[in-house]
Each structure stands twice: as C-alpha cells, then as structure tokens.
Amino acid sequence: MGRTLAVALATEGCRVAICDINEQTMAETVAACADAGASVLVSTHVCDVADEAALERFRDELLAAHEADHIDLLFNNAGIGGGGSMVEPEREAWDRTFNICWGGVYLGTRVFLPLLMKSESAHIINTSSVNGFWASMGPAHPHTAYSAAKFAVKGFTEALVQDLRHNAPNVQAHVVMPGHIGTGIAVNSALARGVDETEMAEYNERGAAFRNEAPMTAESAADVILDGVREGRWRILVGEDAHILDMAVRSDPENAYENDFVESMKSQGVLDRIMAVLDD
C-alpha cells in the first residue's frame, strides 16, 4: 500500500519522500511513479522506523532533498507480521514485529509532528488493521504481536484526534484499518526478519497466494485511503471485509473469539481466503 500511495500522490503533483530498509524496493517505487507519469521529486531514504535516530536522519535528509521547512502529509504505514504467540516463538520476533508496527507509528509521529505543525493544513495517516479491533486470525493462529501493535495504533490515533484539535488544530489524524489487501507483506515480513534464503521459497509461495487471492488490490486500497483523508474522516475502514468484521465485533464482542464467530465470518466470505492461505 505504501508504494501505491506514493504513486497516487506523485501523479497528483505531491513531492514524496519514502523510506524503507530495502533500497531495491524503493527504487522500484520511484520507477513506478515515473511510469505513471509523475514528474515531481520522489526521494528515497534508507530507514528502520523502529529506530528513532534513523527517523531523525530521514527527517533531515528529507528537508535537505526537498528544500522544505515543513511537510503536509505523514503516512505511518510500515508494518510486518510475525511473533504470533507469547508462548511459542522467540521474543526477538515478537519484539521486532511490535516495535515496527507500533513503534514506527509512535516514533514517526514524534519526529515529524513539528514539521506538520508548520503546515497550513496537515494530516497524519496511521495504518492500523482489522486486527486493531479484532485480535485474531482464527483460533488456530495466534496473532498477539501484530494485533497488540495495531490496537495500540488505533487507540493512539483516536487519542491524537482530540489532542490535535486542542493543541494543533491545523493537523488532523486518521486511522486506517484495512482488511485483506493484496500486498507483499508476507514476503516483506520474512525479509525484514532476516529469513534464510533456503526458507524463502515457502514464504514466496504463501506471499503470492496472500496477494493474488485478496479481495481488494493495493491500488484500490490507496484510493479508499486518500478519499477518506480528503473527506476529513478520521476512521477509514478499507475493504468490504473490514466493514463486515467491524460491525460483527461491535455487535457481539463477548463472542468475537469463539469458533462460531469465525465460522460466521468465513460463511460471509470475510476470512475464507486468508484462512485458506494460512492453512496451506
């Protein structure tokens, strides 16, 4: 989604600065912007969003590259999966997932908020997930690190909405909660965790299924997100599955983690694709 957001913004005339731990994927994003007809500056910056010093370098590089003194849009979008269980996996995987998915949002906001406050009208767009209101992928798939992080992102953004209205009314906050979107998160998560090349074949196969069997493309998701920001909506659900799951959890929270709930969601097509990928 980060790539498609960058392409959409660049083609609309926004100068864009992107960060990633992988220079190759950033180069591919720059090429995608050019292929789409964008003629604006798209700068790239190697950065681990879980590292505050790295984000500060990114900020300083951005200001120099774009000869700017402020920014108008901040997308805290970086995320990986992994560290599903508090019981089984090593702590390193759990902490890495949490520190990127939550720490990247918190630190990104901390580092860039002063630049947003210098804008006449600015927006912080934080990517949570349906796992920010439903902490599960089904009873057989523990999902604690990712879900805990995405719940934190949702709660932080909701609190930030009120905080900014009082202390920085020129800045708006938005929380994005996508369902199953056709992205490369499965493969990218493995790369971010340093999975050995001999294991990548399995991740590549699962990643392709996750991307190709998704009910919504990353391009369509980017359109929904940007439309939500333009319309000033602080809560942006992405995908029909996200809307259905949101209503179901809020209507029956006590039973949201029971097998009957999961079966009901699968019968409505909400979890059938992603569960099939997980169970392969």
Q: Which sequence positions are flagged as catalytic?
A: 146
Residue 214 CB partners (closer than 8 Å, separation 6+): 180, 181, 182, 183, 273
Whether 11 and 3 have beta carbons less than 8 Å apart is answered as no
Burial of 193 (0-12, 13-18, 19+ CB in 10 A): middle
170 sits in which H/E element: none
Distance CA 121, CA 2 (A): 22
For residue 19, what are its two tokens?
């960060």
Whether 108 and 129 have beta carbons less than 8 Å apart is answered as no
Dihedral angle sign, alpha carbons of residues 128, 257, 182, 225 = negative
173 sits in which H/E element: strand 171-178
3-state SS, one letter per residue, for 37-102? CCCCCEEEEECCCCCHHHHHHHHHHHHHHHCCCCCCEEEECCCCCCCCCCCCCCHHHHHHHHHHHC
Burial of 188 (0-12, 13-18, 19+ CB in 10 A): buried
Residue 17: beta bridge partners? Answer: 43
Q: Three-class SS of residue 278?
A: helix
